Structure 1
């Protein structure tokens, strides 16, 4: 699994835990819903600015989001 897929799966997991639809997360984070869908599928190279918007939209921070065994080698 590559980093884009790992990131996308983590976004989807947290979004579902918050009981957000893709559209709700898109509205909260000011990121297009189709873009978020592609991120969750591991199809996008995401800029740091978009990562920040999504992480904030999910109510977390960089340290918490990336401090997970799924991101460690």
Structure 2
């Protein structure tokens, strides 16, 4: 079972990638240091609700998107 920190890390990386944003660009848009975004994506830190809100606004998603469970694996994947 995945913990919350891992879910946020995975979803942040995924959503940022879907938007084709660099960590630096996301940091600029969210007013968050690029290295902190890197640390969040690696699961080193847990993000505060305030940071999640800033990131969600910059990525144009609901903050709950960071907590989505991983996709179900199908047989053979």
TM-score relative to the length of structure 2: 0.80
Where structure 1 has 5 or more consecutive residues not aligned to the other structure, the ranges are: none
State the structure with more CA Rg.
Answer: 2
4+ residue segments displaced more than 6 Å: none
Work out whether residues 8 and 39 of structure 1, in 8 Å CA contact, stay in contact via their aligned partners in 2: yes
Aligned position for 1:25: 26
1:9-61 CA distance string (max 9 Å, x none): 10010000000000000000000000000000011121110010011111111
Say whether the 8 Å CA contact 1:5–1:43 is kept in structure 2: no
Aligned pair in 2 of structure 1 residues 58, 43: CA closer, same or farther (>3 Å)?
Answer: same
* Contact in 1 for aligned 2:56/2:63 (Cα 8 Å): yes
Q: Is 1:47 paired with 2:52?
A: no
Number of aligned pairs? 69
* RMSD over aligned Cα atoms: 1.5
Higher helix fraction (1 or 2): 1
